[in-house]
Structure 1
Amino acid sequence: MIKFFRKIRYTLMSENKTGKYLKYAIGEIILVVIGILIALQINAWNTARLDNIKEREYLTNLLEDIKAQHQLVKDQVVHNNLMRLKCEKAIRHLNSNSINADSINLYLTDITRKTFVVSDPTFQDL
């Protein structure tokens, strides 16, 4: 194909047909520009397709993270309610003035604070 266009160009230049050669050159430039524009459009479509795939992946991961966080919060609420009840029981026992060292030890080991740890790998990835 390139050989064909080269032959046309040499023929037009050798016969001193500058006007025709200029038309041919402009036509060739237009074809190259059209080819570049088509390639750019294909690249833009591919980039948009890849971005959509990545967006879906992030949304799926975010949903999974939120579900896991929801379960952690529910567990923390249950734990906090249990600790509140244990604290109330310990306060009642302390107010009764009939407490010994073993009971204090028992209450101190029962009343622990569970720390809520946020797990957000998808947010960190964004």
Structure 2
Amino acid sequence: MEKNKTGKYFKYAIGEIILVVIGILIALYLNNLNQQNTIQKQQENHLMLVKREMTSNINSLSVETAELTRIINATRDMLNVINSEVLLNDLTESNISMLLATNVSSDLFIQYENGALNQIIYSGGLKDIENDSIRGILASWESKINVVRLQEEQVNNVIEKIKNLMNKSGDIRIITEDLGLSKQFELDLSSTRGSNKNLIRLKEFENLLYELFLSGTALQEPTYSNFENEMHSLNELINQELSKK
């Protein structure tokens, strides 16, 4: 009888162990499933944040591209005028002021947002991105913006040189008067109106214009153009990945 009772207890114990093992396996499965769902949600959130930033950056790039186009066109016009004594003589002081102002009106700098992307990278969130192509692009994205910033800096350095030459050899007051800024700031008009034709006749000025034109066109094409295409391509990959969820 003791043997029979022991056998029953043994079978009962084995059954209990099996139930415990099954319970552990189910718990592990559910925990793994929850982790996968959490990672999946994190990935979707990361991708949506990056897409939102890229869309904003595309819009910012469009603004800077338009500004760059105005600068390039004004620089081209100025170079063509300098190359022709007839055009230079016929050019009014007001025209000169407008061209000069367009050349140096603003620095080129994309208002680039990368807060979400940096947070993803530095928090280790890249490992949550399943798509190898997207993960690889995001990992190397900082180098892409660095290339853009370097080219922008080259253009802005030339603009700064032109400003310095204008301050040294030009007449800033004429430009402010022609642009209507003197009236806006309630400044008296110059009693003896000068000219900036001597400025634009300087070889140093012409050389700087060529430098601005060449660096500007290089920034416009291929730097800005490629960067815009890369952002559109990244957004397209993200859209394709999100559509699978």
Report the TM range for the smaller structure's normalisation.
0.5 to 0.7
Superposed, which structure 2 residues align to 1:7-86 within 5 Å?
15=2, 17-86=5-74
Q: Where does residue 230 of structure 2 map in the other structure?
A: none
Letter aligned with residue 125 of structure 1: Q
Aligned partners of 1:25, 1:80: CA distance in 2, in Å?
Answer: 81
User: In terms of Rg, which structure is larger?
Assistant: 1
Tell me if the contact between 2:71 and 2:102 (Cα under 8 Å) persists in the aligned partners: no
Note the aligned Cα RMSD (angstroms): 3.0
Q: Which runs of 5+ in 2 are unaligned?
A: 121-245
Superposed, which structure 2 residues align to 1:71-110 within 5 Å?
71-92=59-80, 94-95=82-83, 96=88, 107=100, 110=103
> How many residue pairs align between the two structures?
110
Superposed, which structure 2 residues align to 1:101-120 within 5 Å?
107=100, 110-111=103-104, 112-120=106-114
Aligned partners of 2:59, 2:102: CA distance in 1, in Å?
Answer: 25
Cα deviation, residue 71, structure 1 = 0.6
Q: Which runs of 5+ in 1 are unaligned?
A: 1-14
Cα deviation, residue 62, structure 1 = 1.8
Cα deviation, residue 85, structure 1 = 2.0
Cα deviation, residue 70, structure 1 = 1.0
Aligned partners of 1:59, 1:123: CA distance in 2, in Å?
Answer: 9
Q: Secondary structure at the match of 1:50?
A: helix
Aligned partners of 2:76, 2:16: CA distance in 1, in Å?
Answer: 89
Query: In structure 2, do the counterparts of structure 1 residues 113 and 99 end up closer, same or farther at CA, with 3 Å as the change threshold?
Result: farther
Identity of aligned residues (%): 28
Residues 38-88 of structure 1: CA distance to partner in whole angstroms, max 9, x if unpaired?
Answer: 111111221122222222212221221121111112112101101112223
Aligned partners of 1:59, 1:108: CA distance in 2, in Å?
Answer: 42
| Bigger Cα displacement from structure 2, 84-93 vs 25-34 | 84-93
| Bigger Cα displacement from structure 2, 39-48 vs 89-98 | 89-98
TM (norm. structure 1) is 0.67
Tell me if the contact between 1:69 and 1:119 (Cα under 8 Å) persists in the aligned partners: yes
Letter aligned with residue 86 of structure 1: A
- Higher RCO (Cα < 8 Å, 6 or more apart): 2
Aligned partners of 2:36, 2:102: CA distance in 1, in Å?
Answer: 57
Cα deviation, residue 27, structure 1 = 0.9
Aligned partners of 2:108, 2:9: CA distance in 1, in Å?
Answer: 84
Which consecutive aligned stretches of 4+ in structure 1 deviate over 6 angstroms post-superposition? 97-100
Aligned partners of 1:109, 1:52: CA distance in 2, in Å?
Answer: 50
Residues 7-33 of structure 1: CA distance to partner in whole angstroms, max 9, x if unpaired?
Answer: xxxxxxxx4532222211111110110
